[in-house]
Structure 1
Amino acid sequence: MRNLLVLLIVLGAGFVLVGMYVAPNQPQLRDWYLANACQSLDKVSPQICAPIRRADTNGSDKT
């Protein structure tokens, strides 16, 4: 039971960290987080999706 709880905590933390550090640089992942995850993550903390929104408004995937 303890192992399952630790696994869920690690997966949740990984999901948040990917959203904060990886997704802003990956256009497809950024779009998925904006469409599906940020609505729920904003209830926890608006700072989680802030880097994704900044990267989306900056248009970092356009060259």
Structure 2
Amino acid sequence: MRNLLVLLIVLVGGFVLVGMFVAPNQPELRTWYLANACQHLDKVSPQICDPIRKAEGTPADKT
């Protein structure tokens, strides 16, 4: 059970790190994160998708 929890934490952390560091430099991945993931990641922290939005040139949502 502990191994499953650690795996889940590592996967979520990897997903966030890819969004912050890899996706801004990859157009297809950046588009996917903007369309699908950023709406959920913004609930955790708006700073996660800021590098993607800066690379795309779209303003951040102020909600």
**TM > 0.5:** yes
> Counterparts in 2 of 1:7-26, with a 5 A limit?
7-26=7-26
Q: Which amino acid aligns with 1:55?
A: A
Identical residues among aligned pairs (%):
81
Runs of 5+ unmatched residues, structure 1: 59-63
Q: Alpha-carbon deviations, 1:21-54, whole Å to 9, x = none?
A: 0000000000000000000000000000000000
Q: Tell me the residue number matched to 1:61.
A: none
Q: Tell me the residue number matched to 1:30.
A: 30
* Alpha-carbon separation, structure 1, partners of 2:2 and 2:12: 15
Q: Which has the higher contact order (CA 8 A, sep 6+)?
A: 1
Moved over 4 A (4+): none
Runs of 5+ unmatched residues, structure 2: 59-63
Residues paired across the two proteins, number: 58
SS for the counterpart of 1:35 is helix
